[in-house]
């Protein structure tokens, strides 16, 4: 009899696991775990955040029926809905146990094994934030407590968790978000009461899973605070990570192992500690308003300038005047802040110098969060465009081997963050004008002069694909709703894409390309495109990409740029392209760089961080 009961429980548990993962089907209808209905929004409202393992997880949709009878289709849909609404089966609670640990397991089970499964659970007034990982974690271990020894006393591993939380600030996270004071209070006077011990265990497990999720892939779903972010974050089974930490007795190491391994993240962590030390020492001085400061200037404002530059490490020499050393220090500061490098302290340079160190710290923390949204490695060779820096680099084995200035999207037509593989080049490309650009930019010109686009070599085609005479259309009656024309610009020197476009297929139809508007690369802030990325050195980039293709050399590529005949050249292997948005980073020379938040993407992320801090999670 005992064997039959055990086997029954094992079968039920196996069914529960596959149901929870959305992998089971009954009568060809996927069973959807009710937990999957928990959205990021509902978790945020409940004071919690989704775990990394949930980021990319979406419930499978009910398969479409092939039945042609509407009544039969409706009946199948109703049946599917009934099956989908059934909660997943969890293992039964322990029975006939008399030791304290067993009694605690029963209490844990009774709190998380409900019908339906809980989508929110408060323990001692605190909302658990990791239910979707916490429930299967306990179910797979038969609801046995994780943070108690055999006598029902707190395990030494609990102290390790608290020690790990003490280091949260080093990662740009706030340890206050994980309630360490309340956790330590639980350890001080924990009575031998099964219910209270179960609550203690649930809270510590929830804290590990939540902090682990934040280290692994950030505190926020990227798309919730940055709608243009399309790169998938890292994911791990955090329940497995916790189980491994409990077995090995290495809780701190298990958590640290979840943080990004990329050197860029590690370097930014170091910069954060440096700037926090500056803040601890009182920050830096501000430069009062006044006339432009330049070499030869003297007075109190120059003294303040020297002190400010010393605080950030841009100036080492002592002195009292705006001398050669100060000029070099100002130029250094301007370069690493993306300002015009002239060695003169004008209004824009003074504003950058006067930004409080606390704001720079927040900026560093925001960009550490963005790092947690990225994969651990970008590959041995890849292209990286940092949008706020207006630069593109090719990296090989972590080192930059090619650099080019770029023009990115206007503030109302922003270049999105994305990752895709470059597959081919189009030499001497035609430009098929996107409908949005045709309506917003070209139609107003046609209304003023039907032949305005002809001067740019742009031809107009009707919906049947036949070229038309621009004068044959009453453009004043055409609007965004009834615009049914196609615009194409042939290859040539006036073509908006120049001599080449570099293609990495993606949902946004974004690509890199040449441009006839070379003068724009002289600007320090280059937000002029409609979303695609214009490259200042397209010939050199094409030559680099085709260097292993014997059919191509610089002379042939240059000739193909001017051939006025479109030609597609496939790369021998795909090259990862990353369009990223960093307002703080450490460059290959170890220099800290800050950039203006050109698209105002830091602000929603900062608001979300402050919301968490205020909630007293």
Which is the catalytic residue, given 109, 532, 570, 613? Answer: 532
Distance CA 272, CA 379 (A): 26
Identify whether 513 is a catalytic site residue.
yes
**Beta carbons of 545 and 574 less than 8 angstroms apart:** no
Q: What is the CA radius of gyration of the chain?
A: 30
**Beta carbons of 518 and 512 less than 8 angstroms apart:** no
Specify burial of residue 200 (Cβ count, 10 A radius: 0-12, 13-18, 19+).
Answer: buried
> Pairing mode, if any, of strands 533-535 and 512-513?
parallel
Identify whether 508 is a catalytic site residue.
no
Collapsing DSSP states into helix, strand and coil, what is residue 460?
Answer: strand
| Cβ within 8 Å of residue 563, ≥6 positions away | 427, 428, 491
Distances 425 to 71, 498, 566, 576, 581 between C-alpha atoms, Å: 53, 13, 10, 14, 25
Helices (H), 249-323: 251-256, 263-280, 300-311
Specify burial of residue 190 (Cβ count, 10 A radius: 0-12, 13-18, 19+).
Answer: middle
Which is the catalytic residue, given 18, 93, 513, 613? Answer: 513
**Beta carbons of 356 and 365 less than 8 angstroms apart:** no
Distance CA 508, CA 527 (A): 18
**Helix or strand (DSSP H, E) at 577:** strand 567-580
> Pairing mode, if any, of strands 25-26 and 29-30?
antiparallel
- Tell me the CA end-to-end span of the chain in Å, nearest whole number: 47
DSSP 8-state assignment for residue 452: T
Report residue 149 CA to chain centroid gap: 39
- Residue 584 pairs in a beta bridge with 594
Strand order in the sheet with 458-461: 431-432, 486-489, 458-461
**Helix or strand (DSSP H, E) at 401:** strand 399-409
> Pairing mode, if any, of strands 486-489 and 458-461?
antiparallel
Instruction: Kindly list the catalytic residues.
Output: 513, 532
């Amino acid at each position: 009899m005992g064997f039959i009961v055990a086997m029954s429980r094992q079968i039920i548990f196996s069914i529960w696991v596959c149901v929870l993962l959305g992998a089971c089907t009954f009568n060809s209808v996927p069973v959807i775990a009710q937990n999957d209905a928990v959205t990021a929004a509902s978790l945020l409202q409940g004071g919690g955040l989704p775990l990394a393992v949930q980021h990319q997880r979406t419930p499978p949709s009910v398969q479409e029926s092939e039945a042609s009878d509407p009544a039969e289709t409706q009946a199948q849909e109703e049946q599917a809905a009934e099956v989908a609404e059934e909660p997943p089966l969890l293992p039964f609670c322990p029975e006939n146990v008399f030791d304290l640990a067993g009694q605690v397991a029963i209490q844990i089970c009774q709190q998380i094994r409900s019908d339906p499964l809980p989508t929110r659970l408060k323990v001692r007034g605190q909302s658990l934030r990791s239910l979707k990982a916490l429930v299967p974690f306990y179910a797979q271990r038969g609801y046995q407590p994780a943070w108690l020894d055999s006598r029902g006393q707190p395990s030494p591993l609990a102290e390790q968790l608290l020690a790990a939380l003490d280091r949260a600030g080093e990662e740009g996270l706030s340890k206050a978000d994980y309630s360490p004071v309340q956790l330590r209070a639980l350890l001080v006077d924990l009575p031998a009461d099964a219910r209270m011990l179960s609550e203690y265990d649930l809270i510590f497990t929830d804290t590990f899973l939540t902090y682990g999720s934040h280290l692994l892939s950030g505190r926020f779903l990227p798309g919730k605070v940055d709608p243009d972010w399309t790169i998938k974050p890292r994911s791990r089974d955090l329940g497995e990570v916790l189980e491994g930490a409990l077995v090995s007795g290495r809780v701190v190491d298990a958590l640290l192992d979840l943080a990004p391994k990329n050197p860029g993240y590690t370097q930014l962590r170091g910069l954060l500690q440096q700037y926090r030390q500056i803040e601890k020492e009182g920050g830096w001085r501000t430069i009062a308003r006044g006339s432009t400061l330049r070499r030869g200037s003297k007075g109190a404002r120059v003294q303040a300038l020297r002190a400010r530059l010393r605080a950030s490490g841009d100036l080492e020499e002592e002195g009292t005047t705006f001398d050669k050393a100060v000029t070099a220090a100002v130029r250094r500061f301007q370069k690493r802040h993306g300002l015009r490098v002239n060695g003169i302290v004008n209004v824009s340079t003074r504003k950058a110098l006067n930004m409080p160190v606390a704001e720079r710290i927040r900026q560093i923390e925001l960009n550490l969060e963005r790092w947690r949204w990225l994969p651990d490695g970008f590959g041995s060779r890849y292209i990286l465009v940092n949008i706020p820096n207006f630069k593109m680099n090719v990296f090989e084995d972590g080192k930059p081997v090619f650099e080019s200035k770029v023009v990115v999207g206007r503030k109302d037509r922003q270049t999105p963050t994305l990752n895709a593989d470059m597959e081919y080049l189009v030499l001497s490309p035609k430009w098929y004008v996107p409908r949005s650009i045709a309506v917003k930019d070209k139609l107003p010109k046609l209304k003023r002069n039907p032949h305005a686009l002809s001067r740019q070599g742009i031809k107009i085609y009707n919906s049947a694909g036949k070229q038309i005479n621009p004068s044959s259309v009453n453009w004043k009656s055409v609007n965004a709703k009834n615009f049914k024309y196609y615009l194409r610009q042939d290859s040539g020197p006036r073509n908006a894409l120049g001599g080449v476009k570099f293609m990495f297929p993606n949902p946004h139809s974004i690509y890199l390309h040449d441009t006839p508007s070379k003068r724009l690369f002289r600007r320090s802030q280059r937000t002029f495109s409609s979303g695609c990325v214009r490259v200042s050195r397209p010939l050199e980039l094409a030559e680099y990409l085709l260097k292993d293709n014997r059919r191509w050399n610089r002379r042939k590529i240059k000739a193909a740029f001017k051939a006025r005949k479109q030609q597609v050249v496939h790369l021998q292997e795909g090259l990862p392209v990353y369009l990223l948005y960093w307002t703080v980073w450490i460059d290959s020379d170890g220099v800290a760089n800050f950039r203006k938040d050109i698209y105002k993407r830091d602000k929603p992320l900062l608001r979300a961080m402050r919301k968490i801090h205020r909630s007293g999670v």
